[in-house]
Chains A and B, each alone.
Chain A
């Protein structure tokens, strides 16, 4: 029976094709078009209903966007309002005085400003070779297999470790090493120092700069790379002259991102920086002496601050931190734009 019916089917189809010729296909096409136009009709008829959803969707997007801007503006405004008494009291001296003394109500932000900038930039300098190397290895040398997979997830994992863990680890591992270096240089063996904090910060920001560099390096067009090879360039020369140049803006974007992270980091830095407001007297002590950062002085002193001016001055430090990270971001964006290859 089954066999029979199949035979019949085949036969009828054959017959149809013979009789209708090309027309059969044409018919099918017109039918398809009809079906499509039908579906167009349904889209058109339901468009009226969808217009409402469309509007609502757009409105939600718009509102969410506005809320984000409002939150940012709100933070800035409330920081400004709260620090107004301190701004009036401290005046411009806040930015040039290096004494922070809550007992006599003298507040100067220089030690913290210096500490924040020093640790952040030192951390960047230490981290760049590592993040660049990791992303070049992943993009150019080891593309498949388990080693790059481990390397990739290891760098990503670095971003997920809580900063207090970094702080503890640094306290037990990095400070003794720094102390040994200090002793060999005949410096006071503090251990906790700008250098120790910068090293831990560098490790913390590697995943941020590496993640973007890792994404942009493979985007370098293959034909340019091959052109370089065909001209006789070695791999090193190709990386140096073609790949790094071509992906420079992306790499810089990652570095700017990681700088933002480094400036605001509090916990790990507080544990390792030594929290001293004494300004360094020479070049070596700039790196090896204990220091303080804006974020850590806020974290350290906010809970126990009672005086109005004292509290307000701490908020003013927060405002300064906000402004500094904003300025560095703008500079970063400017540098990125300069390096874009069009």
Chain B
């Protein structure tokens, strides 16, 4: 049987029309529920590292003030992309946006720090001894220049420890991550060779070693491989009782990574926009591979037809995260913000505008 072209066309049109009607109806439905809801809903997306903390904070905030916050842990890169396309109220990122990235944004993007994280060097050696390491030893090990555990330089740092004649197997992250950024940021600052060969970034061109996906992937490979050396987030070693190295900081002290020493690392002069790298910190008792993690948002809040109520809700939430919300940090093993950082954040939050005018929000 034959089918005329006209008939096919009509069929196609009717299917299209049906689809449009369906999508229109569902869109209308969504609009209705949004209009009816008394509570404002805030949408955020970004870094996975602070996700457990954010989800706890936002859950408590919802109980207290009835504002629902939906944070999707899609990664820092995704958070920045969503922010640039203005599809979310706020984003989260482990590495502050570079000047180049900020220039791409349509409007000014502001950063406020929320908590601190740290990266530790972990390893698989019999008896899990507590090792002392220096920045140049770590850099050379990850560059493949130190290949044996009983290398003279490691032995000299750890006189009491019996180090085996075993190859060092480097384990790094295979996925792009803020953890890798912080680690490579530190190594770039302390090692000329690293700066030349590798540099800083979320994904690197690793000269040696194997890659594991996420903290669990790296930790799993380190646990399996005798003689392995890798880097993971501090929080992950605390929860999984893994060995970690004490690292010599700029002031010459060997610092054990802990919530306390990480908070100490932020005890420096923080710039007004809070975009600061605190790796290789000047702080005397600070752990050298520490970093802030940030929430980001636009200075001019009138975009995408956002209502003043929504903007006020966002600012109140961020104010709460900087102050009362901080009490949840240490329970979840995230280091607290130092007072100086909170002061900077206050100024930034007060500078946010709607249609160019200052906003009066509940603090």
Query: Contact residues of A with B, CB < 8 Å?
Result: 54-56, 58-60, 62-63, 99-104, 106, 171, 175-176, 179, 188-192, 270-271, 274-278, 290, 292, 296, 299-306
Contact = CB atoms under 8 A, between A and B. Distances in A.
Contacts of A296: 174
A296 B224 CA distance: 21
B338 interface: no
Given A270-B174, A276-B209, A296-B174, A191 B203 contact: no
A188 B225 CA distance: 11
A331 B239 CA distance: 51
Interface in B81-140: 81, 101
A304 B213 contact: no
Contacts of B206: 276-278
Contact of B202 (A63, A102, A292): A102
Contacts of A306: 77, 80-81, 101, 202
Interface string B1-27: 101000110011001000000000000
B208 A304 contact: no
Given A54-B1, A300-B213, A189 B175 contact: no
B213 A275 contact: yes
B168 to A, nearest CB: 10
Interface stretch (B193-201, B288-296, B350-358): B193-201
From A271, A275, A278, residue with most partner B Cβ within 10 Å: A275
B211 A290 contact: yes
Chain B interface residue number, banded: 35 or more
B56 to A, nearest CB: 22
A292 to B, nearest CB: 8
A59 B176 CA distance: 47
Contacts of A176: 224
A275 B212 contact: yes
Nearest to B202: A304
B211 A171 contact: no
Contacts of B3: 55, 58-59, 62
Contacts of B80: 306
Given A60-B11, A274-B210, 13 more contacts: A62-B8, A101-B204, A102-B203, A104-B199, A276-B210, A278-B207, A300-B176, A300-B211, A304-B75, A304-B176, A304-B177, A304-B178, A304-B203
Given A101-B204, A103-B201, A58 B101 contact: no
Interface of B: 1, 3, 7-8, 11-12, 15, 74-78, 80-81, 101, 167, 169, 174-178, 198-213, 217, 220-221, 224-226
13 contacts: A62-B3, A62-B8, A63-B15, A99-B205, A101-B204, A103-B200, A189-B225, A190-B225, A270-B213, A296-B174, A300-B203, A300-B213, A303-B175
B8 A304 contact: no
Contacts of A301: 175-176, 203
B73 to A, nearest CB: 10
B315 to A, nearest CB: 26
Contact of A103 (B76, B204, B207): B204
B348 to A, nearest CB: 22
A336 to B, nearest CB: 33
A219 B328 CA distance: 68
Contacts of B217: 271
A247 B294 CA distance: 62
Nearest to B12: A63
Q: Top 7 closest A-B pairs, CB basis?
A: A304-B176, A275-B211, A275-B174, A303-B75, A101-B205, A304-B77, A274-B210
Nearest to B170: A276
B12 to A, nearest CB: 6
B78 A303 contact: yes
Nearest to A99: B205
